Structure 1
């Protein structure tokens, strides 16, 4: 395991919280998968599975050891409901907020995310898409097409609707007028 990377993760996440724990378990899993000895790989992979079960079920962050992650990943909120498909590739210095899904849609293929990408709260990146370097994915955005470098993806703006009581009052006023005419 690269202790320099763990030290950087520790510093980035202030050495505390679920985000640091999830990244440490992920990095241990990557290390276990790369053992040359079949016996040590099997032993450490079993340890990883136990640790990863805790991370997935308690912390609610699912980053399989097969995901390729560059340096400097920042999981901005712990206990975060983050789910990443096992074949995803994530570049250097990316930030991921809580509630994010990076996965597969009904067709084959998964995302490749460039360097310095920020993914906002509740975003979903689905299918075989490429997110260019420096892109910003806004809160609750659903990405199913390639995003060029340094682009910003936003979800549709919300609209203010009249309250139900105001709508009900208008309906009852119209009903009263109709009754008077009859």
Structure 2
């Protein structure tokens, strides 16, 4: 068990760590300093600390709770004064970049499905497009339900791999583009 005086000593020992932690959490050195002081005031104002086993963890929990409260109040303040955007300014249409990206992903997905072995492709499409159960697909393709499950898992893994590979390639090419010098 820990005494209040011991907790104050722990506070002083981890003061810089608390400040760094809070500065990272709230993205502001001045606010972090204020929250460190508030943490001290909370600790100094406690009537009992006998149930505290780990003083450092206890202090960081208080500081974290204060940071959360601060961030929540900042969000509420922003919402109150920023207001909702005008309906005329909000578009539900995808941006041209996102639309192009979606078309490219759809094309990749179609190619990936076309590359699957015939029974695997059939099982996958019957499940994903026609929403048939594994049992219905097994009956239709004259295979075991466990084989249907394997086909669908294989198809999903294949499609996921193709999309992830394309995403890595896209990230690599976007990361190394030369700036426009026009």
TM-score, normalising length: structure 2 = 0.20
TM-score, normalising length: structure 1 = 0.20
- Give 1 or 2 for the bigger CA radius of gyration: 2
- Of Structure 1 and Structure 2, the greater strand share is in 1
Structure having greater relative contact order (Cα 8 Å, sep ≥ 6) = 2
- Of Structure 1 and Structure 2, the greater helix share is in 2
